[in-house]
Amino acid sequence: MPGMISNIKYVCVYVSDFEKSLSFYKDGLGLAVTYKEDGFAQFDTDGTILSIEKGGEKSEAPKDYRKNGILIQFEVEDLEKAVGTLKSKNVKFTQDITEMDFGRIAVIIDPDGNQLQLLEQ
């Protein structure tokens, strides 16, 4: 049915080292924790719930999102400022700011090698 689904409510990333990933998403990306229990946390992302849960597998190299089947994209107002802030927190980038038809993106990786896009439109 067209129009049946209106938005994405929830995304969960399975992580190998819960405490390291919690620090990355909370301190590195600056997301506020809205709920936390042993091996599970949720973050405020203004509408969609992003969570991390213990039980994932780490990759030494950045994971290819086309093989993993998922890509998380965070919208930012000022990509250059966001990139500068994240680099100052030693967040690893796999792609610097790149102009696309739909806006500008940069790509970072979390502690398990999951690639996350930052988007400015």
pLDDT tens per residue across span 41-89: 999 898 889 999 999 999 888 988 887 767 899 999 999 999 999 999 9
In a domain, residue 1? The reply is no
pLDDT of residue 2: 62
Burial of 110 (0-12, 13-18, 19+ CB in 10 A): buried
- For residue 69, give the 3-state DSSP assignment: coil
Tokens of 96: 């610097």
pTM, two decimals, is 0.86
In a domain, residue 2? The reply is no
- Domain CATH code at residue 17: 3.10.180.10
Domain count, the chain: 1
Tokens of 4: 């049946």
In a domain, residue 4? The reply is no
Q: Buried b vs exposed e over 73-82: b needs ≥16 C-beta within 10 Å?
A: eeebeebeeb
